[in-house]
Structure 1
Amino acid sequence: MGLTVGLDGFERQTKAIIGRADSRPHLADITIPTLVFVGDSDPITPPYLSEEIVAAVPDSRLVIIEECGHGSTLEQPEAVNRALVTWLKAT
């Protein structure tokens, strides 16, 4: 995926991320059940950041995908699907 995006695309994405507003103060305003996924080896958004999100969002749940980096749906699709089905059945 990174090769497809290329260096110019990566630069644009990085600038967009750096310039976006911090949404953490608004997490408590989320009023729907929320499922947060993170890979156990995600170098971009490590699990402790997802734990921060789950602590702030009411009625949220954290799923840490093992042997996974940043792209959980690409790297571990079966684990993601299992977690989604489990969560949807419980919601």
Structure 2
Amino acid sequence: MAGTVGPDGLLRQLRAQASRIDLHPSLAAIDVPVLVLSGELDEVSPPALQRALAEPIRTARHEVVPDCGHMSPLERPAEVAARLRRWLAR
């Protein structure tokens, strides 16, 4: 994705992320079901980071989609859809 965005676009994205308010302290207050999907090979937001995001949410479930990176819905659409269907059907 960085190749299509270009260096200037990537720099804008990084600056936007760096200036955002940290909402992590609010995660424990979430009381609705949450599914956090991670791509096994994601280097932008690795599974360990996503697991840490899910941990404070008592209603969260964290799953790792194998053999894909940051764009799991594009890289493994059938796998992501199946996981979403299972989660929504529970």
Please give the TM-score of this superposition, normalised by the length of structure 2. Answer: 0.90
> Which residue does 1:21 correspond to in 2?
21
> Which residue does 1:32 correspond to in 2?
32
Number of aligned positions between the proteins: 90
Cα deviation code 1:6-50 (max 9, x no counterpart): 222111111001111221111111121100010111111111111
Q: How large is the Cα RMSD of the aligned pairs?
A: 1.2
Letter in 2 for 1:73: P
Alignment partners' CA distance in 1, 2:16 and 2:78: 30
SS in structure 1 of the partner of residue 32 of structure 2: coil
> Which residue does 1:84 correspond to in 2?
84
Cα deviation, residue 5, structure 1: 2.3
Alignment partners' CA distance in 2, 1:49 and 1:11: 21
> Which residue does 1:52 correspond to in 2?
52
SS in structure 1 of the partner of residue 48 of structure 2: helix
Which 4+ stretches in 1 moved above 4 angstroms? none
Letter in 2 for 1:45: S
Please give the TM-score of this superposition, normalised by the length of structure 1. Answer: 0.90
Letter in 1 for 2:54: V
Cα deviation, residue 3, structure 1: 3.6
Which structure 2 segments of 5+ residues have no match?
Answer: none
Alignment partners' CA distance in 1, 2:11 and 2:72: 22
Q: Indicate the percent of aligned positions where both proteins have the same amino acid.
A: 39
Letter in 1 for 2:37: F
